[in-house]
Amino acid sequence: MDLLGFARGPALKVALAIFCVGVVWRFVGFALLRLRRDLNKPRVSLLGSWAGGLVTVGSRSWPHPEFIGRTGAGEALGYSYHIGLFIVVLLFEPHIVFLGSLFGFTWPGLPSSLITLISVLTLTLFLAVLFRRVTNPVLRMLSNFDDYFSWFITALVLVTGLAATAHIGAPYEKLLAWHILSVDGLLVWFPFGKLMHAFYIFPSRAVNGALLARKGAVS
């Protein structure tokens, strides 16, 4: 078996299995955690509490007007590269074919040259967020191995994908194999690192919002 066969064969199968086990494990473990009892009198009904949670999901997804001057650029950077990633992952035809082989349905994609352009822009933004992380004293102090490795494995997928598309540095089948292997690596790392925020981000905001709403502090 050659490297490409290994990458899209057994390695992918094992990576997908680990991904599914890990994500479900963390979700179920998270859902079954016992909340400490809150003996305070609720300020709103249960429904109002969860409505507050939904409000928080929305409000925390946008810069607070008062701080927009300080946080707006960072949030714009974050949104931009996330949107870039979504476009590249979901609208590149070979990716659609790959996802279609897993899920059984496909959807229209974008021109490959446009995807290449967006990939380069996204990679540039990736470098910018890394630069910001290492140059901002507060962010640097907050960062640990998890942050840097999650950045690295995601950037690696982008770099290998771009190299494969542009045929840079090695024959296409090797670049494609390394690209798929990097995706396999990302799938394995995903549930156990901060990449899991892709699943946690809205539930955790909702829970925070609901708890705050119960105290009468919807924000």
Where on the chain is the footprint of other proteins (CB under 8 A)? 2, 4-5, 8-10, 12-13, 16-40, 92-95, 97-98, 100-104, 109-115, 167, 171-173, 176, 180, 200, 203-204, 207-208, 211, 214
CB of 218 to other proteins, least distance (A): 15
- Taking residue 50's Cβ as centre, other Cβ atoms within 10 Å add up to 17
Burial 100-136 (b: 16+ CB within 10 A, else e): eeeeeeeeebbeeeebbebbeebbebbeebbeeeeee
Residue 123 vs 210, nearer CB to other proteins: 210
- The whole-angstrom separation of Cα 109 and Cα 107 is 7
Residue 85 vs 187, nearer CB to other proteins: 187
CB of 127 to other proteins, least distance (A): 25
Residue 18 vs 129, nearer CB to other proteins: 18
Residue 89 vs 128, nearer CB to other proteins: 89
Give me the amino acid identity at 49.
Answer: S
CB of 4 to other proteins, least distance (A): 7
Task: Give 92's strand partners.
Answer: 110
Residue 10 backbone dihedrals phi, psi, to 5 degrees? -60, -40
CB of 22 to other proteins, least distance (A): 7
